[in-house]
């Protein structure tokens, strides 16, 4: 089954209709799978470089700070004990790898769910060939003409000849994020208020997720 969306040019005029595969853009969103994919993405983005020193790694503390008995104080063997300021840290974080994985079928289901959940926010344009120079204002006007508001995600092949000026023209707009179709992910999809995709990007996404 398929559903159709309007195919626009960068001035907001209709050029025709584009068929979208219901198996990709019309499934019942699986919230649990989307959550797993989002958690995987956030975990894999973590550096895991946090580090604290144990009492064995803190410098100093070789001498017993005071004698064992007769001072009225609790016995202590090292001033670098976790009980003292400047001492080691008990059970503190150490460098680790947070990377998690999901089966490819689950990752694809998460993308299909996210695309289906955001179908009302998707605008499809033919391409950005009418952007004939590098100009930020031109991209701002395009987004206004096609009624893309809020946080905008633009999905396009930025190296293609017809989109050659898009990246440099749009990168200074704080509310716009650019993605290659191959880098499409759940986090950026669900965070976007408006999703603008080129016709070729839609075809590439469909081909990738249909396998």
- My answer on whether 133 and 186 are in the same domain is yes
Quick one: pLDDT at residue 14? 87
Neighbours of 18 (CB within 10 A): 18
* CATH code for position 9: 3.40.1370.10
CA 156 to chain centre: 16
**Helix (H) or strand (E) run with residue 160 in it:** none
Shared-domain flag, residues 82 and 40: no
Q: Give yes or no for a contact between 22 and 3, defined as CB atoms under 8 angstroms apart.
A: yes
The predicted pLDDT at position 199 comes to 93
pLDDT of residue 144: 93
Whether 39 and 57 map to the same domain: the answer is no
Q: Out of 97, 112, 132, pick the residue that ends a domain.
A: 97
- Quick one: 118 and 128 in the same domain? yes
Q: What pLDDT does 132 receive?
A: 87
Adjacency order of strands within the sheet including 14-21: 14-21, 2-8, 122-125, 194-198, 152-155, 176-179
- Assign 123 to helix, strand or coil: strand
Assess whether 35 and 112 both reside in one domain. yes
Tens of pLDDT along the chain (211 residues)?
Answer: 567 889 999 888 888 999 898 999 999 999 999 999 999 999 999 999 999 999 999 998 889 999 999 999 999 999 999 999 999 999 999 999 999 999 999 999 999 999 999 999 999 999 998 888 899 999 999 999 999 999 999 999 999 899 999 999 999 999 999 999 999 999 999 999 999 999 999 999 999 998 7
Number of domains into which the chain is organized: 2
Q: What is the pLDDT of residue 200?
A: 93
Contact assessment for residue 53 and residue 87, using Cβ atoms and an 8 Å cutoff:
no
CA pair distance 18, 6, nearest whole angstrom: 6
Q: How far apart are CA 164 and CA 141, in angstroms?
A: 18
Containing structural domain, residue 113: 2-46+101-209
- Judge residue 9's burial from the number of C-beta atoms within 10 Å of its C-beta, 0-12 exposed, 13-18 middle, 19 or more buried: middle
DSSP calls for 187-209: HHHHH-SEEEEEHHHHHHHHHHH
Same domain for 86 and 138, yes or no, is no
Mark whether 190 and 114 lie in a shared domain.
Answer: yes
pTM above 0.85, yes or no: no
| Half-sphere CA count of 210, side-chain side, radius 13 A | 11
């Amino acid at each position: 089954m398929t559903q159709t969306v309007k195919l626009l040019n960068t001035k907001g005029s209709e050029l025709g209709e584009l068929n979208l595969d219901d198996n990709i853009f019309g499934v019942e969103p699986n919230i649990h799978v989307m959550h797993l994919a989002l958690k995987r993405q956030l975990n894999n983005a973590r550096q895991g470089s946090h580090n604290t020193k144990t009492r064995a790694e803190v410098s100093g503390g070789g001498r017993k700070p005071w004698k064992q008995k007769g001072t009225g104080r609790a016995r202590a063997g090292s001033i670098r004990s976790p009980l003292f300021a400047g001492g080691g840290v008990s059970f503190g974080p150490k460098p680790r790898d947070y990377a998690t994985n999901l089966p490819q079928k689950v990752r694809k289901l998460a993308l299909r769910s996210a695309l289906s959940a955001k179908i009302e926010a998707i605008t499809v344009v033919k391409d950005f060939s009418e952007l004939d120079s590098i100009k930020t204002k031109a991209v701002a006007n395009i987004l206004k003409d096609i009624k893309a508001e809020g946080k905008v995600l633009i999905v396009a092949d930025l190296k293609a000849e017809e989109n050659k000026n898009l990246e440099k023209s749009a990168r200074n707009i704080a509310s716009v994020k650019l993605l290659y179709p191959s880098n499409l992910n759940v986090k950026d999809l669900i965070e976007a208020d408006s999703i603008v995709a080129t016709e070729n990007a839609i075809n590439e996404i469909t081909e990738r997720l249909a396998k």
